[in-house]
Structure 1
Amino acid sequence: MGKAPGNADKIGKLIELNEELENYFNNTIIPQLFVDADMKLRKFTPAAMTHFKLSEGDLGKHIDDVSNNIRFPTIIENIHEVIESNVSLEKEIQTTDRVWYQMNILPYIIRRENRTNGVIITFIDINDRIQTLKSYEKLNRNHEVVIHALYHDIKGPISNMEGLVSILGEANGDGAVIKEVEEMLTLAVSKLKETVDDLVDIGGNDRGFDQEPERVNFGNVIEDAKLSLKDKITETKANITSELNVTEISFSRRNIRSIIYNLISNAIKYKSSDRSPEIQIKTEEVGESILLTVKDNGMGMEDDKRSVIFDRFTRLRDDIEGSGIGLFIVKNMVEGMGGEIQVESTEGEGTTFKVYFRK
């Protein structure tokens, strides 16, 4: 009959197991922590020591005392959850330094006693993967904005040409009027061709409107927008004034053109019924931003409408022509380049849009 193993054999096996665990922790290149059932940090890999700035002096400390190093606010709650349930936990986390990890918390189970004696926590850097996914999401959003923006940019010159053709038909042989309309038609066709050329460029460039910034002159873009909206400006007797304290900006030319066009178009479209549109455009430096302000004296809007006007297909009035995507385009273009757009409005008095461009 064999002899039952003595205490020395048991101690020897425990030492052997401990050495194997120690050897594993010392040689893995993945950040890992071993936290026991009393929530004390018992071991960590060299990679964890480096990444979380841990030291030998942190061994034996309660995990709460070193959680700031790990920079993940719910880690203690998650450890408790795994210890109590004996079920591993996997989740994607972003630490306070904005790095993404896949965190796995595995129960450390003593089989012969069928109890959990702590957890092993593994952190796998997935930041590149997350950033790639975000890039694809941004690309999809950009393509959507591109389609809507092109619709607007093409619609403007076409609408302008329709108005000019109508004027031409009513000229009754007036040579001066015919000549002026012909010149304006030539300019409108040129703007339409420019937009179509942009469409061709986008077709061969997956980045769409997310193009490299270039020096863009505010005055030139405003004049382009006024030309595209000339028939509407004439029809409504709109007066557009500019105060350009900042004359140029480093931004996507296509985006600036669409932003200014949409804001001026909206100011005319939502004019008051009892007065002609007065539209004031201003640029200035405000802190670390360049501020573009477009202010009108139109119909304004109710307080509850301000929170939804940037949503796609939102229309403030059913009796006013529009698709409800203009401000959706503007917001996406501004935020896509790191800026911000705000709106202030008083019903019956007018609306002010403030666009903050990052320098």
Structure 2
Amino acid sequence: MAETIAARQEKPTVSRPMRQGKLRSIYLSRWFYLMMIPGLVYYALFHYAPMVGALIAFQDYNLMKGIWGSPWVGFDNFRVIFDNPEFVRIMRNTLLISIYKIVGSMVPDVILALMLNEVRVRWFKRAVQTITYGPYFLSWVIVYGLAFSFLAPGSGLISTFVRDMGWGSIDLLTNKDFFRPLLVLTEIWKNTGFGAIIYLAALASINQELYEAAVVDGAGRWRQLWHITLPGIRDVFVLLLIIRIGGILDAGFDQVFIFLNARVYDVGDIVDTWVYRYGFERLEFGVAAAMGVFKSVIGLVLVIGANKLAKKLGGSGIW
């Protein structure tokens, strides 16, 4: 009993210096905490506060009554989604387009970064980076305008060239077989430069002594690439892959919506365009919100699963 009392008496004397140390640490880092406030306020106002709108998914939402006045319908909006005959088609289109983009856009990012990493002429390297990074700042409206100027039936540059050469006529913008490859190609052209910059930053963090040791051991450029460079950017690649897998139901609304036309609806209509029609054309906000909640849940499950799989395979994952 005496030992217990003594331990209780000593506990405050041990914890008090710890609390003082934490308070002192917070005080010394006060400017960093102050700089965090704008970011925290931004996320609180524009990311967390709007999550209250998820309640619409369980309501027969009425604009005049608002969120708190609209009647509750439970899971009826989700039943509308799953019973819709278009559900299977839009899910298939969304998954296929997303998978094509993941495979078709991440690999060119790595290849371009590896190629630029081998360039020793600085002005040439900077010029290539500027040229490839420039399209990232263009909107998808401008990108579609460029694609239309080349591929428009009858008036596009490529279409006119094919016709003048006597090879017949082509109509690629309304071709079902070419629609998905067109999305992937324009995605690569627009975003590869930006993706390469991320990998170039990862390549710059690799210890150069590893390359020097590899040269001493007689390893050539390909051996160095396989045993040093690729393992050095593996964690970054896995991180970006997990993020892309988590957003696999986001096939790129801006791009698809602009490129979409009536002739390619069967292969190009995705979840987001379906939500747009229900939410803004039919004004069925509850059904549109229910699809958003469904996408969020699927994305969360995929991120957690991909993160665990990455750790089991020896990667670092996200957390």
What is the TM-score normalised by the length of structure 1?
0.21
Larger Rg: 1
Higher relative CO (Cα under 8 Å, sequence separation at least 6) belongs to: 2
> In proportion to residue count, which structure has more strand?
1
> In proportion to residue count, which structure has more helix?
2
